Amino acid sequence: MTSHTPGRFPYEGFGAEEEGPQGRPCPTQGHASAQDRAARTPGAGLNSRRDRRPNGPCLKSRSDGVRGVGGLWWEDLGVRHLGFLASMAGSSGVSLSESKMVVPLNMWVLISNFKLKYNLLRRPDGTFNRHLAEFLDRKVLANANPVDGIVSFDVIIDRATNLLCRIYRPAFTEEPQPSLIDLEKPVDLEFVPVIVFFHGGSFAHSSANSAIYDTLCRRLVGICKAVVVSVNYRRAPENRYPCAYDDGWSALKWVSSRSWLQSKIDSKVHIFLAGDSSGGNIVHSVALRAAEAEIEVSGNILLNPMFGGEERTESEKKLDGKYFVGIRERDWYWRAFLPEGENRDHPACNPFGPRGNSLEGIKFPKSLVVVAGLDLIQDWQLAYAKGLEKAGQKVKLLFLEQATIGFYLLPNNDHFYTVMDEISSFVNPDGE
């Protein structure tokens, strides 16, 4: 087991290079993003609705004349030329007039920024510009020094595949530079939810050290009073199915064997699998394997999970290209992830489709399925929840009619607080 516990927070110099969790250099820009600042700012955990900001645009200026919205500056979102971004997003099929009327402006900028980058990285021949992807992905180092009562550290759990997990936990001391032994001390709580988190990115983008997911995991620790283990699974198209699933399974087995993650109340590790987009898809596969191996998982949390099938659903036809995502883009990612020659009715894509596995009679974990009403694959997500229910499994569906993809990444909308409240209740005994 290898651990990385850097003692300083990144962004101390302009244009410096930092080392990523797998030893690759990660370029920085000399200023922290809004997400990075939130991770260092008191109250970043957003533990109550008192912390919420206005839902609508709130333009304001600072001394250098740069204008921001909702408390975030444009360059904090990685956007320096908004007009160029809007034109590129529009040319890719995004309905600007429709999406901007519904989506908070800073969320629109953030997701449009992702879309622009994603369009640059996909190639028509099915290959992917990984070097550019790593350069464009804003990354942060693990931080063993307490920030808002939370520390993080990286552990390589499988040297054969170089599988790394970033672990977030409540700090036990405000002393700087704790040792690895200190970091693996039991959490001093009667009940400790352990959330094994799989980041999104359609199986191809982002990583456990992406700034946007680092911040999300920190928020989950603060809101849920939990330990979060974020899995840096292998990505497509370089590593197709079932590599991401295998990495998720390895992470689950590792977490279940850690005595320091046990709750004091019963000396058990209470594991919850969580993920968004492709990460939600991975949750299903890992949970199914856990049920077959009789490894106890307390629950699954699927945020806008990425499922699909050969049939074109009504939501795909209606929302194609309107809210950041188009059908052709989704098809590209499935071709990049699934075994060569397979179609979208493969069980990895369509778990309750014609080739799917029945869950009837299987001891499958309870599930919280969160569906955004402006996500074009919502029909597949709803079908997944219906499939669980039909198989006699316990499932709670949270359908947010006016939410779009990625709404849980920024605390600038009511949907964010709704889903965080639901997750907190789902993983804690009082919420049963």
Enzyme catalytic residues: 277, 375
8-state DSSP, 187: P
Contact between residue 326 and residue 320 where contact means Cβ atoms under 8 Å apart: yes
432: buried, middle or exposed (CB in 10 Å: 19+, 13-18, 0-12)? Answer: exposed
And the tokens for 180?
């690895």
237 preceded by cis ω (within 30°)? yes
Task: Give dist(CA 114, CA 117) in Å, integer.
Answer: 5
How far is residue 367 from each of residues 34, 213, 282, 293, 370, measured CA to CA in Å?
31, 21, 13, 18, 10
Pure H helices in 58-205: 82-91, 96-102, 105-121, 130-136, 180-183
How far is residue 36 from each of residues 71, 216, 323, measured CA to CA in Å?
14, 10, 26
Question: Is the alpha carbon torsion for 170, 172, 177, 179 positive or negative?
Answer: negative
